[in-house]
């Protein structure tokens, strides 16, 4: 698995972490990857999600607010869904670490300021390699990726809803009630779940190899279920559905339907967003 973090306009590489040898120049690859994404945005009004090229599988994730492009490449034996879920974990972790980064003001072109993040990628990569032969743990990484994406969508809606502060207060109250549960207080991995009014929910620090996976998944289901319930109660079903559509919730679910079925999350998530 090779990882690039680039400026989505200029193609400048902020960070590159290779685990496979590519028989081409790194800077040329970065420029090509950015150009391909810019071309599809210009011609088709949306960026690349995934391609197969040079015997590898490539996935793209773009974060428009930070003007960053996250790209991962791995062998074709790694599914697109797994590769995208892993890249999403790296993306969320990077944005959490460098969320206030402004390229024009805070960067002189020296990539050394991002070097410490390579150890974060290395930690994730080591966990993923250990999990590759353990199906349950590998699946749980995907489950965490799905839930983090849903929680990110929830935060996007929170940030632009008409009554944002009231919704955030409801979310904080709900989360505090969950934290008061003895199960939560006795579990060090559950305690890594956090919520703030600025960044929303964060679950990327959970270590699947150390947690009770069934207990953790149940806790995450409760958070998502209660969050959507708050939206529907406070905004009404019709207004909530408009926000879900605007945030492309259903496109996300449909694009990942195969993975959701494999993880037994398809019925839960589709019913949660579609039904009363």
Q: Which pair of structure tokens corresponds to residue 29?
A: 């690859």
The predicted pLDDT at position 42 comes to: 47
Q: What is the mean pLDDT of each run of 10 residues along the chain (276 residues)?
A: 82 83 59 61 51 76 83 83 87 84 65 89 83 66 90 88 86 90 87 87 85 86 92 89 90 90 90 85
Q: Which pTM does this prediction carry?
A: 0.55
CB atoms under 10 Å from CB of 273, counted, come to 20
Euclidean distance between CA atoms 148 and 59, whole angstroms: 18
The predicted pLDDT at position 66 comes to: 82
Residues in the chain: 276
Q: Which residues are 74's β-sheet partners?
A: 57
The predicted pLDDT at position 199 comes to: 81
The predicted pLDDT at position 45 comes to: 46
The predicted pLDDT at position 78 comes to: 81
What are the residues whose beta carbons fall under 8 Å from the beta carbon of 129, sequence distance 6 or more? none
């Amino acid at each position: 698995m090779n990882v690039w973090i680039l400026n989505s306009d200029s193609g400048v590489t902020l960070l590159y972490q290779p685990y496979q040898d590519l028989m081409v120049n790194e800077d040329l690859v970065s420029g090509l990857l950015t150009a391909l994404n810019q071309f599809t945005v210009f011609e088709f009004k949306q960026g690349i999600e995934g391609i197969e090229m040079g015997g590898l599988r490539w996935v793209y994730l773009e974060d428009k607010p930070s003007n960053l492009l996250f790209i991962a490449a791995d062998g074709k034996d790694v599914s697109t869904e797994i590769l995208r879920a892993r890249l999403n974990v790296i993306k969320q972790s990077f944005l959490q670490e460098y969320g206030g980064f402004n390229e024009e003001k805070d960067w002189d072109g020296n990539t050394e300021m991002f070097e410490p993040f390579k150890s974060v990628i290395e930690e994730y990569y080591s966990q993923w390699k250990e999990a590759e032969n353990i199906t349950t743990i590998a699946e749980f990484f995907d489950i965490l990726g799905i839930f983090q994406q849903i929680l990110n969508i929830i935060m996007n809606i929170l940030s632009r809803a008409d009554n944002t502060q009231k919704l955030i207060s409801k979310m904080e109250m709900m989360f505090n009630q969950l934290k008061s549960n003895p199960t939560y207080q006795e579990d060090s991995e559950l305690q890594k779940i956090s919520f703030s009014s600025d960044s929303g929910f964060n679950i990327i620090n959970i270590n699947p190899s150390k947690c009770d996976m069934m207990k953790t998944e149940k806790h995450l289901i409760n958070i998502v279920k209660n969050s959507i319930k708050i939206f529907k109660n406070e905004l009404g079903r019709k207004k909530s559905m408009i926000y879900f559509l605007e945030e492309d919730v259903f496109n996300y679910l449909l694009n990942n339907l195969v993975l959701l079925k494999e993880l037994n999350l398809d019925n839960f998530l589709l019913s949660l967003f579609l039904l009363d």
